[in-house]
Structure 1
């Protein structure tokens, strides 16, 4: 039995990975981890394909709500109560907060969501997510003090 086909397959994989930029490798890593975060925390309501659940939970796929990424980042960490309008349709189910998710996990799931359904082809890096989460925390603290 020849080892040549296996060797060629390994060589092809090595060449493919080595031809990718560091940014592309990072994006793929964030997306892969983001899928796991999404399946564990979001898919139950928003469904695996992001289509939402009837009139109960809004879609993420093809959602006009994705236009404000900072708001989405805050929503993932801190949740939301009350009415929300997505693609012209009103929803009124609370979205639970996910304080157990690290800043990195939020960056990963946001990268996945925006690459899968938001038309992006880039990383939403943890370095950009952390200050947004801090601003949200400050705004929420100020709002509760009033």
Structure 2
């Protein structure tokens, strides 16, 4: 609870500090702030706080060549993964649990955070795009 309050306060600080920024930038900052919480609660246990992964068990997000495949990453977040995956030339074979409890908006916030933190992006992954990708995953 204290962590959520601190992050909400941080989000408010972003709005105040960046008040002269575009609506798009303010929205991106809000997505990142929420994405941090979602990451800490659902992903950091395996991928670690700084995205470095966990030895030979769980792949890194930081510096990951797999982040080049954003649509696949969005599908993985919602649907999980069974079987091997290769990241940065190294094979991993631990299951990634599905996150069906996350709304499309939460997946968009999480994706925005991951890609702004480790994917060399400075953009928003909009919920409309995520919804379309997740619909395509079902097929």
Query: Shorter-chain TM-score: what band?
Result: 0.7 to 0.9
How many pairs align? 126
Measure how far apart 1:14 and its partner are: 8.1
Contact 2:111 2:125 in 1 (8 A): yes
Partner-residue secondary structure (3-state), 1:81: coil
2:6 maps to which residue? none
User: In structure 2, what is the Cα distance between the partners aligned to 1:123 and 1:21?
Assistant: 12
Give distance in 1, aligned partners of 2:130 and 2:17.
Answer: 30
**Scaled by the length of structure 2, what TM-score is found?**
0.88
Matching of residues 53-72 of structure 1 within 5 Å: 53-72=54-73
Aligned partner of residue 18 in structure 1, secondary structure: coil
Between Structure 1 and Structure 2, which shows a larger proportion of helix residues? 1
The equivalent of 1:126 in structure 2 is 127
Structure whose alpha-carbon radius of gyration is higher: 1
Q: Structure 1 regions of 5+ residues with no counterpart? A: 1-12, 139-146
- Structure 2 distance, partners of 1:76, 1:86, is 16
2:24 paired with 1:27: no
| 2:75 corresponds to | 74
Q: Structure 1 residue 18: deviation in Å? A: 2.6
Cα deviation code 1:14-41 (max 9, x no counterpart): 8743311101100000000000000000
Quote the offset at 1:43 in angstroms.
0.2
Question: Counterparts of 2:50 and 2:116 in 1: how far apart (Å)?
Answer: 13
Query: Which residue of structure 1 aligns with residue 11 of structure 2?
Result: none
**2:113 maps to which residue?**
112
**Runs of 4+ displaced beyond 2 Å:** 13-18
Equivalent in the alignment of 1:5: none
Going from structure 1 to structure 2, the CA distance change for 1:135 and 1:16 (only over 3 Å counts) comes to same
Three-state SS of the structure 2 residue aligned to 1:85 is strand
User: For structure 2, which runs of at least 5 residues remain unmatched after alignment?
Assistant: 1-13
TM-score by length of structure 1 reads 0.83
